[in-house]
Each structure stands twice: as C-alpha cells, then as structure tokens.
Amino acid sequence: MKILRLNPTSQEARILVQSNEDLIPLSRIIEKGDVIVGKTERKIKIGDEGGRQRVSRKTITLELQITKLVSEDNALRVQGRVTKPTEDVPMNSSHTIEVSSGTDFKLKKANWFRYQIDQLKDAEKTSQLPTFLLCVLDDEQASFGYLSPSGIKYNGKLNLRLTKKRLEEKKQDDIKKVAKEIVSRAKNMQVIIASPLFWKDIVSKAVKDLDPRVAKKLLLANVSTGSKKGLNELLSTGVVDKLMKGAAITKHEQLINKLLEGIAKNKLSTYGVKEVEKAAISGAVTELLISEKLMSPEIQDLIQTVESGKGHVHIFDTKSDAGKKLLGLSGIAALLKFKI
C-alpha cells in the first residue's frame, strides 16, 4: 500500500493498493457512510435500439457514498450511491467500485479517528516488508507456513521419524526431505527454521548442501514443537520481532500478552464493555484492544472517548491467535494508566 495523500483537515486520503495483503487493513478502515472516488467500468450499448447492437466497456470515475462493503479473496467490492452524476451515471443511482491490487482511489470520511490514520500508516509501512517462509520441526513432524504483515498462513506438514532408535540412514532421508521442501518453497524469501534441540542446525546444514543461496537467507530460532503451535510460538520470539518490526501481528501479540499478565496479577488492566467504558470515561485507558467483530456506532463513541483521553486504539483480527484470545475476554479490553 502507498499513501499518495493524507489530509485529515479535508478528511481525505488518496491510496494506491499494491497487493492483496493491503485489502485486509482497508476492509477495517473503509466504512458505511464514507465517500469513495475511483475508477470503474460501465457497459455502453452502441448501435440502434431496433437494429444490431454491440456492448462496449467504458472506464469512468465515480464518487459514491458507501452503503455496503463486500470482502472477496482478491478484491473489496464497495457498493454505494452516486453523489456526483456523470453523463453516463445519474445522481443517487447504485453502483460498485472494485478495490483490488493496482487500484488508486480517494477515501473521504466525516471524521478520521486517530487509530484509523495509524492503521493506514502501519499498513503502508508493513506492506513493504517481504513474506517469510517458516519451518518448525521436531522428531515427529515439520510444519510449514508463510508469515506476512497480516499473519501466518499454515501450509502443510511432513511426518518425520527422527527418533534415536531409527537407523541413521533413515534419519538422513527425512532431513533431506525437509531441506528439499524448504529449497523448493523458498524462492526469494527469507527463511526461518525453528525447533527444539538441534534439528534446526542439522536441517540448516542440509539446506546449505542443496542450495547455498537459500542457506544465506536462513535464520534459526527455538520453539517447543514442530506442530502448528510452533508456528504461532515464533510470533513471540525476538527473531520475528526483528524481521516484522512494526507489523500489527507482532504488536497485537505483545499487547495481549501484557494484558493477560496484568489480569493475572490484578495490575492496570481490565476487560468487558462496562469495565472498559468506566475506565475510558475516567481517562484511564492507555491502550484499547477491540476485536473487529465488536465494531459498531457505540464502540466508535467509546473509541472517541479513549482518543480524547490520549489513549491508543488497536483493532484485532478475529482469525489471529491474539484476536482469538481477545474474543475469549469478551472482545474488548484495556491497559490502564492508573487503577479505577
């Protein structure tokens, strides 16, 4: 994502979408009631009505007040009513602008919340970061995934038998199998190999023997298991933090861990709508954690109260590990400046 212009005074931003990853933060920023200006195609019939006609497509620029946002795999379909008529499209008629990779559009809001501007800037920053190949393994399995600013995408596993009792030759076959999988998947990505004990070092050496270029992009880390749980463990390690510094997924994991620690020790943290509202009104909220599932006009009022008190707002993805933990705490929580 690239922010081409951001002017909170005029309540307008101009944004260039550079990849499908950009659609995730945009789906949380674009809201019903906002105004979008962008290009779309319109079918034009050419020829006499009574005779033979052909249909041609014409690219036009429309301004819509948004009534609905539909998220698809590779696009956001922004539906709304035309606020500035053109020669082809009348005022108040319904139309759709598709936001996808390569789309350049303007977004106008009646009011930009500070957390929305922060989300936009964070998305621009993290969208420039590459995707990483992850491999976690133990003596029974190797699990693979891809790490991007939006989170971890699990991508299968290999069953292994690296126990002490197994013949050395068979162990080496399994090690080579993991190394070949890493080399075939790596392409131009940085690679993180993690394991308990020494398996990561052995696989790293096997990768070096297969392809020294891939070996130069390897980073090693420690995890307790080679399962999907091991992939999520990487989020709390210094390795991922170093690579993905500033990415929302790392920041959210750190915030939820701090919150859970505070709850366990009864220190400067709270959760639940009523408790958080009370803290916000008192000006005690320093970090507000909200599941995207809870977003509503009432929650927007709460956000405004928190931002007025100089607090920061974080919207959590319900599919992320941190987001699931937050949902387990009612979907809303806060870190506090002082006790209520």
Mean pLDDT of each 10-residue bin along the chain, 340 residues long: 88 92 90 94 66 72 95 92 85 93 95 92 77 91 84 87 72 91 90 92 95 91 92 77 63 92 93 96 96 91 95 90 93 94
pTM of the model: 0.67
- CA distances to 63, 69, 124, 178, 248 from 37, rounded to whole Å, are 4, 14, 20, 49, 27
Q: What sign has the CA pseudo-torsion 275, 281, 283, 286?
A: positive
The confidence score (pLDDT) of residue 85 equals 81
Give the position of tokens 């539906």. 79
The confidence score (pLDDT) of residue 150 equals 61
Phi, psi of 307 (to 5 degrees): -65, -30
Q: For residue 205, count other CB atoms closer than 10 A to its CB.
A: 13
DSSP code at position 223: -
d(CA 319, CA 192): 22
- Which residue segments constitute the domains of the chain, with CATH numbers given? 2-111 (2.30.30.870), 132-243 (3.30.420.60), 248-336 (3.30.1330.30)
d(CA 100, CA 19): 8
User: Which distant-in-sequence residues (6+ apart) come within 8 Å of 326 by Cβ?
Assistant: 256, 289, 290, 291, 316, 332, 333
d(CA 24, CA 123): 9
d(CA 42, CA 58): 5
User: What are 304-310's contacts with CB under 8 Å, separation 24+?
Assistant: 304/113, 305/280, 305/281, 306/280, 306/334, 307/113, 307/114, 307/115, 309/280, 309/283, 309/284, 309/285
* 291-305: pLDDT as tens digits: 999 998 899 999 999
The confidence score (pLDDT) of residue 14 equals 96
The confidence score (pLDDT) of residue 234 equals 84
β-bridge partners, 143: 136, 157
Name the pairing type of β-strands 94-99 and 12-16.
unpaired
Phi, psi of 84 (to 5 degrees): -130, 110
The confidence score (pLDDT) of residue 50 equals 61
Query: 65: helix, coil or strand?
Result: strand
CA 113, 315, 292, 79: dihedral to nearest 10 degrees? 40
DSSP code at position 248: H
β-bridge partners, 153: 146
d(CA 267, CA 278): 16
The confidence score (pLDDT) of residue 46 equals 61
Maximum pairwise Cα distance, the chain: 84
Phi, psi of 151 (to 5 degrees): 135, -170
DSSP code at position 90: -
